[in-house]
Amino acid sequence: MRPRTLRTAGLAAVVATATVAASALAGAPVAGAAPIAAAVTAPDISLTNVKGHLNQFQSIATGNGGNRAHGRPGYLASVNYVRAQLDAVGYTTAVQSFTYNGATGYNLIADWPGGDPNAVVMTGAHLDSTTAGPGINDNGSGSAAILEVALAVARTGFAPDRHLRFAWWGAEELGLRGSQYYVNNLPTAERSRIKQYLNFDMVGSPNAGYFVYDGDNSDGVGSGPGPAGSAQIEQTIQAYFTSIGVPTRGTDFDGRSDYGPFISVGIPAGGTFTGAEGTKSSAQASLWGGTAGQAFDPCYHRSCDTLANINDTALDRNADAIAYTVWTLAQVATPPPGTTVYSDTFETATGWTVNPAGTDTATAGRWERADPAATSSSGVATQLGTTVSGSFDLVTGPLAGSSAGDHDLDGGVSTVQSPTITLPSTGTLTLSFSWYLAHLNNSSSADYLRVRVVGSSTLTALTATGAATNRAASWQSGGADISALRGQTVRIVIDAADASTASLVEAAVDDVRIVQN
């Protein structure tokens, strides 16, 4: 990681949710309903294997003047080591050369066969060190972790819907030279095919923090949000750490690492970071352990950045988070197979009823079937102008208005209810849908979005709550096993609440489906 020229890592809390945590992404149960299983789950990444790669990087540095820096033999030897690993398992690899400071630099690009070539998930890390030392945390850690994830793709026979590409960048320490060269030389059509870029720079810091790039600008500091889609990456990574009980904090897109050239041309980005030369605070030490008043990496850009400069726990967690994120983003959310019992994409009116019990209290922004307008406030997208399919969805207050608070949900609860649905008395019944809940930092846990299936008994498929932080709108997949309601006549009931004082709350639901297997 190159020297920081702007601010230190952001510390505002990530978005808090209650029972949803990461229901669709991580498979955690929500409010008594069993979630839909992921199509293919990510494997556990072997810490032993990751550290084996770090041992190789250390040996390469030791045998080549003590470093793996741009223009030095240790860097090219590192490229050759990584390339040999990938070639052996079936990747298509290419070495891209460039010149900087009178020396030749190299980017290594590796493509896994298959997947939609027009929808690329790209994962990168810089492979170079500074001239001061071997660079085992900075950034052997990120390079080794993504290498082992790439090898796990081959080892497991993963056949993703999207095309997977991995990259190891040269001359990052001299100003993102390798990644900038790559992006600058990509034709416009090729840039448009990269749908997400994931960056992992320093993921094993000895006095580790757990930072996630602030794709939605929920921290409200620094450089603002990443390109549209960055919030989804942030939420995906957060979902993994939530699933293992590790709290995270945001870090700004300050242009310090190789995501910079990608976000500058509008490619969504995200990733993790365990800290560099910044000092761990007492609050952070209470949150994560470690030593307050010391740097996250005391050997940052020094000769002591060796194998002894790695926190195994942080490296292991981050390697698994990388795999989880790659596996999740590379699989297109598709409805579960089976016989369709009920479906609604909201492209036509099908009999949903607003305020069915006559008890709603919302004074504005009530549920509608509509073609929504995009709205934002302070750089945070609060309502998406795009739906999951077609042009219509169920949305609270679809109009934009002239100010941030126009047409958002206000004053209490708004409810919308489906027509009656007769469920079969046999088989496994699965509800699926897409959703988002967005709010600004004047929200609280009193605000929520909830999806229930109500018959003679009730199952809650989703409860997402607000928090006193900015949360950008980002479509997510939700659902539940509703087999416990077999044979009943039911309705799907969706309600959202602005129960905090003067909150700005928006919500939407699309593509509701029940299938029988």
4: tokens are: 């920081």
Task: Identify the H or E element spanning 76.
Answer: helix 73-87
d(CA 446, CA 270): 29
* DSSP state for residue 289 in the 8-state scheme: -
Cα separation, 517 vs 506, in Å, equals: 34
Summary count for the chain: helices (H), strands (E): 10, 22
Q: Which of 148, 172, 173, 368 is catalytic?
A: 172
Name the DSSP class of 371: -
Contacts for 71 with CB less than 8 Å, ≥ 6 apart:
100, 101, 102, 103, 104, 105
Q: Give strand pairing partners of 437.
A: 507
DSSP one-letter string for 140-191:
IIHHHHHHHHHHHHHHHT---SEEEEEEEESSGGGTSHHHHHHHHTS-HHHH
Residue 510 β-bridge partners? 434
d(CA 366, CA 213): 33
Buried b (16+ CB within 10 A) or exposed e, 435-467: bbbbbbbbbbeebbbbbbbbbeeebbbbbbbbb
Fill in the DSSP letter of residue 467: -
Q: Is 172 labeled as catalytic in the residue annotation?
A: yes
Contacts for 189 with CB less than 8 Å, ≥ 6 apart: none
C-alpha span between 68 and 427 (Å, rounded) = 59
| Residues sharing a CB contact under 8 Å with residue 162, sequence separation 6 or more, in sequence order | 115, 116, 119, 120, 121, 195, 329, 330, 331, 332
- Characterize the bridge pairing of strands 458-465 and 353-354: unpaired
Cis peptide bond prior to 139, omega within 30° of 0:
yes
Dihedral sign computed on CA atoms, order 315, 317, 318, 322: positive
Active-site positions read: 172
